[in-house]
Chain A
């Protein structure tokens, strides 16, 4: 949910830079829902280009792209991608196994900052950006899920700058789709496939269905303010998501719709050297189950849609960073901690998924820390007609680590990531 605030952060200040990096990831978990072990790599590139016209408007085009490959082992229960987004509308089995994931991500946009004369504000600003993510998740032994995820999103903002702060209102619209097919090649038969309608209960009438299609919309609005250099940062945003799960047979059968309302707030203070902030999220998650009657002629008669799962989730967290200038280069230390818990009302239908339910709903404490060291590897001073322009290329590397402890289930997981790249 804090995504909107991060979008603004990268737009308003010049902390974002053009950089190319690679990273390697390795992690382990005692919790099986996402695998007991995972590792992978990613290649990322972010670019920003600023230019101005004769009316002194400042224009910025920006783009991001990344490719991520990941392999996990020991996955159990869930055969979906994005289980944290989709639960409890999950497709599950009791066999599981490691999964291969490939992810492609693109984002590009434009921002304009136009100074205003004779106005109480200094400048008017707006931006628009288009983002697309595609993911493929698969396994090569039975059960063989093949998940194809597409997420298209547009975000736009309008705002102004006054004195040393910028203020923006942001709108976000997104479309989400996931095809979730499970195949079995064994001639002997198949393991059971379950379609959850609650975190510990399946829609047993549709247990034999192996193809599911998720589709939905994401909308969000937000407000944020932050300084150009030093000052307070604050943000508030609301996001509404609706995703429907359909089962595919000879006809499409919607079995449930997940609706979430999320509110997040952030407040802090930043300077060019250090930054602290605290944030809080609230998320209401509800599932409206499609209740069916007679199914003559493959035509399922819809009796009603009824809310049968309700969850309120809360998260609070804090973030801090400090940048230390060194004789050569600079080093940035960052750390974050958060706590998340939830309350659930649901109609439990079986004990088969109680372990999964505990894993999904357990309160958890997470901490993350990273150190980024960047130092110049190439430096050039260039005199133009009117001003001095300095160009440099820096190399950076950043080890990062994260640890999460699930207080109810006593599960724990950790992950380390090593980034290396160059920035301009």
Chain B
């Protein structure tokens, strides 16, 4: 009995020696690197820092009374995205200062830097709405073919849509890979590129007006009362399928987008789980499609780790350089985010309609850009190159919300 008592004491001692209970926090010190202001006097306004725990999904925002040259945060050990947002007044103009630290591992006191950039907002073409999930019939069946993208003239001038290219990324924001080469800082790797035909200012769009690009420009409500009448769309993407069992529908009254490239040999539709990124932009006028497809094709390598082993993989994409991009939007289900497949300068966030890609609540929902103000009946949409801020998630899809 005496020995048993000793054993039990020993076991309790072991219990006491278990790894330290760590709810205590560690300091993260980030020095703020401001952009070159050209010697202009800078006055800081309101500032806030947002920290997202990428493991637990917790997001916390705290206001900063007086922005200094460094940020000091107390964080539980983990893996974080950190975003600094501040208004600055430079030469009488109010600008938005943003800095990002993506994927920061914190296991001990951490010192780093937060490189900030100034943004004045966009006043040109923007992607206003993306409807990628499809709808659900009254019988509860999945219905595709009514997906659409809304482009919007966010300026106060008439813009011309000639040559605008709609791009869907090859990489997914839900699957991170080590790329060789990592082209994201220079270009978007595209899996689908469709273009409004080139012309000489043939397709004017007035300020505050939109272009509706759809999969099938038809009255979908005849087949599915939960869908929309897209027969009056501005453009549709049409694919000549190589599979007679999977064919596209062409509405002769609605012009087709010009297909530059698409990965599929059948018919294309935006990824219905919302994993990819979309962009609009233009190829240089002097660049023909054939030349583009020759010069911008890239074979890249990546590593895929599975329980069966580690495999070196090769894939092919078509690069759409970042300087050609007018607007980009990253899509990613909120709980399955791993990285951004576009450069942070194009879009530093992501938006979504559901928590996971297979969430059955996603049907009939779209992501829609926020309206900042309305001037003389014209909506001015928010575009700070951060779709987490700029978009409203899981909106009831309405292709005619922007008229």
- Cα-based distance from A204 to B119 in the complex (angstroms): 32
CB–CB B305/A250 < 8 A: yes
CB–CB A207/B305 < 8 A: no
CB–CB B178/A296 < 8 A: yes
**A294 — which chain B residues lie within 8 A by C-beta?**
79, 103, 105, 176
CB–CB B359/A303 < 8 A: no
* Chain B positions 114-143 with a Cβ under 8 Å from a chain A Cβ: 136, 140-142
A189-B105 contact in complex given A291-B77, A297-B176, C-beta closer than 8 Å: no
* Chain B positions 75-97 with a Cβ under 8 Å from a chain A Cβ: 76-79
**A187 — which chain B residues lie within 8 A by C-beta?**
141-142
CB–CB A297/B4 < 8 A: no
**A221 — which chain B residues lie within 8 A by C-beta?**
4, 7
Say yes or no for B304: interface residue by CB 8 A criterion. yes
List the one stretch of B54-62, B195-203, B231-239, B263-271 in contact with chain A. Answer: B54-62
CB–CB A236/B8 < 8 A: yes
- What 0/1 readout, one digit per residue, does chain B (134-178) give for beta carbons within 8 Å of chain A? 001000111000000000000000000000000000000001111
Say yes or no for B358: interface residue by CB 8 A criterion. yes
- What 0/1 readout, one digit per residue, does chain A (207-249) give for beta carbons within 8 Å of chain B? 1100000000000010100000000000010101000000000
* Chain A positions 266-313 with a Cβ under 8 Å from a chain B Cβ: 284, 286, 288, 291-299, 301, 303-308, 310
- Cα-based distance from A238 to B10 in the complex (angstroms): 11
CB–CB A286/B18 < 8 A: yes
Residue from A190, A223, A307 in contact with B1 in the complex, judged by beta carbons closer than 8 Å: A223
- Cα-based distance from A350 to B363 in the complex (angstroms): 25
List the one stretch of B20-28, B247-255, B380-388 in contact with chain A. Answer: B20-28
A184-B79 contact in complex given A207-B335, A297-B176, A308-B23, C-beta closer than 8 Å: no
Say yes or no for B219: interface residue by CB 8 A criterion. no
**Chain B residue, CB-CB nearest to A207:** B335
CB–CB A251/B55 < 8 A: no
Say yes or no for A35: interface residue by CB 8 A criterion. no
Say yes or no for B360: interface residue by CB 8 A criterion. yes
**B305 — which chain A residues lie within 8 A by C-beta?**
250-251, 297-299
**A293 — which chain B residues lie within 8 A by C-beta?**
79, 103, 105
Say yes or no for A96: interface residue by CB 8 A criterion. no
Say yes or no for A380: interface residue by CB 8 A criterion. no
CB–CB A203/B177 < 8 A: no
**A236 — which chain B residues lie within 8 A by C-beta?**
4, 8
- Cα-based distance from A261 to B11 in the complex (angstroms): 9
CB–CB B77/A304 < 8 A: yes
User: How far is the CB of B22 from the nearest CB of chain A, in Å?
Assistant: 5
Say yes or no for A343: interface residue by CB 8 A criterion. no
CB–CB A296/B176 < 8 A: yes
A190-B360 contact in complex given A291-B79, A297-B177, C-beta closer than 8 Å: yes
CB–CB B105/A192 < 8 A: no
Say yes or no for B107: interface residue by CB 8 A criterion. yes
User: How far is the CB of B188 from the nearest CB of chain A, in Å?
Assistant: 19
- Cα-based distance from A373 to B20 in the complex (angstroms): 54
User: How far is the CB of B242 from the nearest CB of chain A, in Å?
Assistant: 25
CB–CB B140/A188 < 8 A: yes
CB–CB A303/B356 < 8 A: no
Say yes or no for A349: interface residue by CB 8 A criterion. yes
**A296 — which chain B residues lie within 8 A by C-beta?**
176-178, 303, 339
**A284 — which chain B residues lie within 8 A by C-beta?**
15
A205-B335 contact in complex given A192-B355, A291-B55, A294-B103, C-beta closer than 8 Å: yes
**Chain A residue, CB-CB nearest to B133:** A189
CB–CB A261/B15 < 8 A: yes
Say yes or no for B403: interface residue by CB 8 A criterion. no
- What 0/1 readout, one digit per residue, does chain B (1-40) give for beta carbons within 8 Å of chain A? 1001001100110010011111100000000000000000
CB–CB B55/A203 < 8 A: yes
**B19 — which chain A residues lie within 8 A by C-beta?**
288, 305-307
- Cα-based distance from A269 to B7 in the complex (angstroms): 26
**Chain A residue, CB-CB nearest to B178:** A296
- Cα-based distance from A293 to B107 in the complex (angstroms): 10
**Chain B residue, CB-CB nearest to A204:** B57
User: How far is the CB of B269 from the nearest CB of chain A, in Å?
Assistant: 16
- Cα-based distance from A291 to B55 in the complex (angstroms): 7
**Chain B residue, CB-CB nearest to A346:** B23
**Chain A residue, CB-CB nearest to B136:** A188
User: How far is the CB of A415 from the nearest CB of chain B, in Å?
Assistant: 34
User: How far is the CB of A112 from the nearest CB of chain B, in Å?
Assistant: 23
CB–CB A205/B56 < 8 A: yes
Name, among A250, A286, A296, A308, the residue most crowded by chain B CB atoms within 10 Å (CB to CB).
A296
- What 0/1 readout, one digit per residue, does chain A (138-176) give for beta carbons within 8 Å of chain B? 000000000000000000000000000000010000000
- What 0/1 readout, one digit per residue, does chain B (188-226) give for beta carbons within 8 Å of chain A? 000000000000000000000000000000000000000
- Cα-based distance from A205 to B57 in the complex (angstroms): 7
A292-B141 contact in complex given A297-B305, A298-B304, C-beta closer than 8 Å: no
Say yes or no for A365: interface residue by CB 8 A criterion. no
**A186 — which chain B residues lie within 8 A by C-beta?**
360
A-B residue pairs in contact (CB < 8 Å), sample of 7: A189-B360, A250-B307, A261-B15, A296-B178, A297-B176, A307-B18, A307-B19
Chain A residues within CB distance 8 Å of chain B: 169, 184, 186-192, 197, 201-205, 207-208, 221, 223, 236, 238, 240, 250-252, 259, 261, 263, 284, 286, 288, 291-299, 301, 303-308, 310, 345, 347, 349-350
